[in-house]
Amino acid sequence: MPGSLAGNMGELRSNHFHSGIDIRTNNTIGLPVLASKSGYVSRATMSSTGYGNVLYIKHPDGNTTLYAHLDKFNGDVADYILKEQYRRKTGEIDLYFRENQFLIKRGDTVALSGNTGSSSGPHLHFDIRDDKGNALDPLSFGFDEITDTFSPKAEKVALVTLDANSRINDKFGRFEFYVLKVGENYQLPQPILASGNIGIELIAKDRFAYKGHFFGGVKFIEVFANGKKIFSQQIENINLAETRKINTALNFKAMRTNGSKFYKLYLDDGNDLQIYDKRLSGKFSVAETGVTKIEIKLKDVANNSSTFLFSLKYSPPSAETTLLEPMRNELAVDVHENILSLTSKMCHDAPAKVYVKGSSVDVSPSYYNQNQSNYLIDLRRLLPDSITTCKSTYATNLKSIIPYGIDYTYYSDWLEVDFEKDCLYDTLYFINYKRYANDSSVVYGIGDKNVPLHKSLLISIRKDTETDWNQKTAVYRIVGKGFAFNGGALNNGRISFSTREFGEFTILEDSIAPTIRPIYITNQNVRFKIKDNLAGINRFEATLNGRWLLLHYDAKTGI
């Protein structure tokens, strides 16, 4: 039976590149997992999150293979791990082994496949890692079990204005277009009007089959403008210590707001990933004469390729334009790079008043028609407190410009934030505010949730006089209608916590104990569901007639 994949190496995931291949097990748990090469077991971990149960095998060539989301280990190493769990009285364990402790031959059954950790379904995750900490593509080693005859596909393209003087269809911003398939290649049905400096983003996927919903990432992408190469991406290995820098390789805001993973086919200032030809920025200017023809070449590890063609037709910027869609709301606001874009209904060519620390300046619209006006404000020159148009006033909550690449501490009367030098990817236009929720609790807005962080921030919030905090009080990030626990330490009227996510936070007291609900109990097996309403489960312990009992916890289900 030929093997099939549910994911490939280099695929865009949330906050990381996928470091190996996901081998489908047809929704089955318990299939034998065979060693791909001889060596010795160098490490084994068991966790309720992440890779779940994982086995590492070190090989004579210096590479290590990793087998993850396993249901059970096999052989002597399984017996050893079980004894260590009982000796240490813990279900979650991370063990390293000596070179000759557990020898493995190619083809040995080392484990059974499973669905442990953060797996979204039964499968085997398989990595190959070199001795420098890089993940290598298993498919480049030659897998006869996996045949790939399918070309990568282009799905959607986004065009981005890269400065305040650039336009796409007479507008500033980021605009998405669906792609048409023509034969084995792709195109847009008609030229896009544009001017100035432009960047391209693309949803591209590597197909594993003509039918089915399994797609991977595209390893090789090249972009040409009028026949000249302007961008090149090659994902041949992944530095596992820097995999979070994927946040510079994709459009983080699009992923956060609607789940779309667009490859950025241009290099931002903070992008130092080694998967690009750094001589090619991907940024280009639409010439004032003629048409700029764009060709994007996609290729996978099996050398299947496809091409996406489209063109940009020069259209000079105009103050008065007819190509503006009707607005749903009075105001629409977005920050792109260094530019704040504010669009207001029914203001025509009337200026907006931009207030900065008590003084104001009039800013004329960059473009307009009878129904709406768009104002573009360069935040490097003006950091507005609020903006008033003919229709309404918008409070920006912008407080400071935080440079990236240096240590920096932000202070206000209620907030302190420590930015380490490598926690930001780019200059940050920092927002913060306090507001009251419907239940009168205080909500603290700290940063824009659509801006990624590379490392955690240390944040300290000063207590209001009317609040009452105690040892059961903690900080929670608001996620939809729920809360994500951040913890926090109380000291001198402040609560301090760390986070690697911007957003809205609140401070709550967890006074309700966790619950334990039996699912079934027999003389062979017990199964319980444990749950907590707020802070989550910190630890659990089971005993049988007073003796510690090993239970396996599935964090996905709470069972």
Torsion-angle region of 380 (φ positive above 0: left; ψ -120 to 50: alpha; else: beta): alpha
- Give the pLDDT confidence score for residue 212 in this predicted structure: 62
DSSP code for 131: T
- Give the pLDDT confidence score for residue 252 in this predicted structure: 96
CA dihedral sign, ordered 500, 506, 512, 517: negative
Distance CA 279, CA 263 (A): 18
Which class for 285: exposed (0-12), middle (13-18), buried (19 or more C-beta within 10 A)?
middle
Distance CA 19, CA 352 (A): 49
Nearest to 455 by CA among 409, 410, 503, 502: 502
CA dihedral sign, ordered 70, 71, 74, 77: positive
- Give the pLDDT confidence score for residue 209 in this predicted structure: 67
Neighbour count for residue 484 (Cβ, 10 Å) = 15
433 bridge partner residues: 445
Which residues, 6 or more positions from 348, have their beta carbon under 8 angstroms from its beta carbon?
Answer: 368, 369, 370, 373
**pTM above threshold 0.85:** yes
Distance CA 220, CA 230 (A): 14
Direct distance between the N- and C-terminal alpha carbons of the chain, in angstroms, rounded to an integer: 34
DSSP code for 369: -
Phi, psi of 298 (to 5 degrees): -115, 135
Neighbour count for residue 380 (Cβ, 10 Å) = 12
- Which residue stretches of the chain have pLDDT < 70? 1-3, 209-212, 465-466
529 bridge partner residues: 517
Rg (alpha carbons) of the chain, rounded to whole number: 27
- Give the pLDDT confidence score for residue 328 in this predicted structure: 82
- Give the pLDDT confidence score for residue 487 in this predicted structure: 95
Distance CA 557, CA 559 (A): 5
Q: Cα 205 to chain center, whole Å?
A: 17
123-133 in b/e burial notation, b at 16+ Cβ within 10 A?
Answer: bbbbbbbeeee
39 bridge partner residues: 104
Length of the chain: 559
The number of CA neighbours under 13 Å toward the Cβ of 290 is 5
The number of CA neighbours under 13 Å toward the Cβ of 251 is 27
Torsion-angle region of 22 (φ positive above 0: left; ψ -120 to 50: alpha; else: beta): beta
Nearest to 352 by CA among 370, 335, 371, 331: 331
Asked if 4 contacts 21 with a C-beta cutoff of 8 angstroms, the reply is: no
